């Protein structure tokens, strides 16, 4: 069942007539405009006193991280600060040994059970470090009440030995044993475990590594991946201590595989279904029960802020609108930044407006490591995370939208006041009057620290608010 959020993308004309009027380049207190300022004794609310039960995930890597063999130790030094900032999960790169050995980012899995313990693919440690260092990182995260999410690659294998595959009629790199890329000797594989084989001629048609796509219909493969006590899933959960799963490239195998994995071991689960159609993403949620990365929201933000420079795209169909508990929102990841294709990347100049969008709207937001470590972004991101975990709650109402202005209200819940987000992409400061708030005769201010502006709402809750040029403001009550 889809959980509908109050959302009004089709009321633009009505909002123009009945709701708001705008002034460009306003100056507080100048001209004919009357600004009702709060009394001097009023101050900002303490956002730390509000807890809406939300959290934020950190994608704790980027493509080709450095230093090699020292990544787990580096992250261990950061989890204390991340916990203080409001991060409740960290998503790690694939932790097992890949075909590229000490250079592998893990997306070419060779030995699922080698986490930096065996001399394999010309290295003992993975690119990220040793098994002991991974254990230390997970312990440090758990000590800070941070869950650790494993990146799981369930289809394309790499780094095995060459053998004749009679079902393809040529040699394939499909022999995985102690001497051929599988030093742990667990989950040995031959061509019989990949498509096609003696039990199935089905080939899912993966876009890459088609010759080493595992046949998940085989009981042997199922047992080693998730079904048996000795499986990868149970090893990662019960021995290593992972709390959940990010399923890589689920377009490469059947939906039921993820559901079977989750039924066996549970935990948090999110699928990388790289598809911009929200209907496809929602169907996957219904078929598997896991969350998805909200690529629909990502592309709507890219279109709104970059490609078309039109904020009305922010109101179009996205997964967080219908499945807020299953939509993992993001503005960047290791692939979008590494590939750097203009239609798959939100430009740095627009990143913070995009983060303001996902950190004030429903969904489970993800922060990309490289963005957080950017000195120009970190303080602002910390404030947005605080806002997200405190006053970003309640039903969503879009109060006004046009090509360069977007005003959204979260209605709050109980004693939680909620917020109003005002995004402005024009080169001028913007002001819009007759904005309907839930706060009658109440002083309000911007909690993003982007504009020094305070005002008192009218008796009926209406107010004139402002947003800085090419920026955003996030308003809530004062006390």
Distance, in Å, from the CA atom of 270 to the CA atom of 319, rounded to the nearest integer, reads 13
- Which domains does the chain carry? 12-48+396-477 (2.60.40.1180), 53-390 (3.20.20.80)
pLDDT digits (tens, 9 = 90+) for 439-464: 999 999 999 999 999 999 999 999 99
**Model pLDDT, residue 9:** 37
**Model pLDDT, residue 6:** 43
pLDDT digits (tens, 9 = 90+) for 80-92: 999 999 999 999 9
Whether 165 shows a pLDDT value over 80: the answer reads yes
Q: Mean per-residue pLDDT for 51-79?
A: 97
Whether 26 shows a pLDDT value over 70: the answer reads no
**Model pLDDT, residue 29:** 37
* HEC secondary structure over the chain: CCCCCCCCCCCHHHHHHHHCEEEECCCCCCCCCCCCCCCCCCCECCHHHCCCCCCEEEECCCCCCCCCCCHHHHHHCCHHHHHHHCEEEEECCCCCEECCHHHCCCCCEEECCCCCCCCECCECCECCECHHHHHHHHHHHHHCCCEEEEEECCCECCCCEEEEECCCCEEEEEEEECCEECCCCCCCECHHHECCCCCCCCCCCCCCCHHHEECCCCHHHHHHHHHCCCCHHHHHHHHHCCCEEEECCHHHCCHHHHHHHHHHHCCEEEECCCCCCHHHHHHHHHHHCCEEECHHHHHHHHHHHHHCCCHHHHHCCCHHHHCCCCEEECCCCHHHHHHCCHHHCCCHHHHHHHHHHHCCCCCEEEEEHHHHCCCCCHHHHHHHHHHHHHCCCCCEEEEEECCCEEEEEECCECCECCEEEEEECCCCCEEEEEEECCCCCCEEEECCCCCCCEEECCCCCEEEEEECCCEEEEEEEEC
- Among 38-47, 151-160, 335-344, which stretch is predicted with the lowest mean pLDDT? 335-344
Q: Could you tell me the pLDDT band of residue 24, with boundaries at 50, 70 and 90?
A: low
**Model pLDDT, residue 43:** 97
Using alpha carbons, select from 433, 435, 477 the residue that is nearest to residue 456: 477
Q: Mean per-residue pLDDT for 205-216?
A: 81
Average pLDDT for the chain: 93
pLDDT digits (tens, 9 = 90+) for 261-309: 999 999 999 999 999 999 999 999 999 999 999 999 999 999 999 999 9
Q: Mean per-residue pLDDT for 47-63?
A: 97
Q: Could you tell me the pLDDT band of residue 16, with boundaries at 50, 70 and 90?
A: very low
């Amino acid at each position: 069942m889809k959980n509908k959020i109050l959302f009004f993308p089709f009321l633009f004309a009505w909002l123009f007539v009945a709701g708001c009027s705008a002034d460009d380049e306003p100056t507080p207190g100048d001209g004919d405009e009357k600004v009702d300022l709060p009394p001097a004794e009023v101050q900002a609310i303490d956002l730390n006193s509000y807890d809406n039960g939300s959290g934020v995930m950190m994608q704790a890597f980027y493509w080709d991280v450095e230093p090699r063999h020292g990544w787990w130790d580096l992250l261990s030094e950061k989890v204390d600060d991340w916990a203080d900032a409001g991060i409740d999960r960290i998503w790690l790169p694939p932790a097992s040994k890949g075909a590229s050995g000490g250079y592998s980012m893990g997306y070419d899995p060779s030995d699922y059970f080698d986490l930096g313990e065996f001399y394999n693919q010309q290295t003992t440690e993975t690119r990220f470090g040793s098994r002991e260092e991974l254990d230390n990182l997970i312990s440090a995260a758990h000590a800070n009440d941070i869950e650790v999410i494993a990146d799981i690659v369930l289809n394309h294998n790499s780094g095995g030995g060459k053998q004749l595959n009679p079902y393809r009629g040529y040699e394939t790199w499909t022999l995985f044993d102690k001497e051929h890329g599988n030093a742990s000797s667990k989950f040995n594989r031959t061509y019989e475990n990949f498509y096609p084989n003696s039990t199935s001629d089905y080939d899912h048609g993966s876009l890459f590594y088609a010759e080493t796509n595992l046949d998940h219909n085989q009981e042997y493969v199922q047992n080693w991946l998730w079904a048996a006590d000795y499986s990868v899933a149970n090893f990662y959960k019960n021995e290593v201590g992972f709390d959940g799963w990010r399923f890589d490239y689920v377009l490469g195998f059947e939906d039921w595989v993820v559901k079977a994995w989750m039924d066996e071991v549970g935990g948090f689960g999110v699928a990388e279904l790289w598809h911009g159609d929200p209907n496809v993403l929602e169907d996957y949620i219904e078929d598997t029960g896991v969350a998805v990365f909200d690529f629909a929201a990502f592309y709507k933000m890219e279109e709104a802020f970059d490609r078309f420079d039109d904020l009305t795209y922010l109101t179009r169909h996205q997964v967080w609108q219908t499945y807020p508990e299953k939509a993992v929102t993001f503005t960047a990841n290791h692939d979008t930044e590494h590939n750097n294709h203009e239609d798959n990347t939100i430009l740095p100049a627009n990143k913070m407006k995009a983060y303001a969008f996902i950190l004030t709207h429903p969904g489970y937001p993800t922060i990309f490591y490289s963005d957080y470590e950017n000195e120009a972004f970190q303080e602002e991101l910390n404030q947005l995370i605080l806002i997200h975990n405190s006053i970003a709650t309640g039903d969503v109402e879009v109060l006004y939208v046009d090509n360069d202005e977007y005003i959204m209200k979260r209605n709050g819940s109980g004693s939680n006041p909620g917020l109003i987000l005002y995004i402005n992409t024009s080169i001028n400061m913007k002001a819009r009057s007759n904005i309907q708030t839930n706060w009658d005769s109440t002083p309000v201010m911007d909690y993003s620290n982007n504009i020094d502006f305070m005002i008192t709402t009218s008796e009926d809750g209406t107010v004139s608010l402002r947003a800085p040029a090419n920026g955003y403001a996030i308003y809530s009550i004062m006390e």
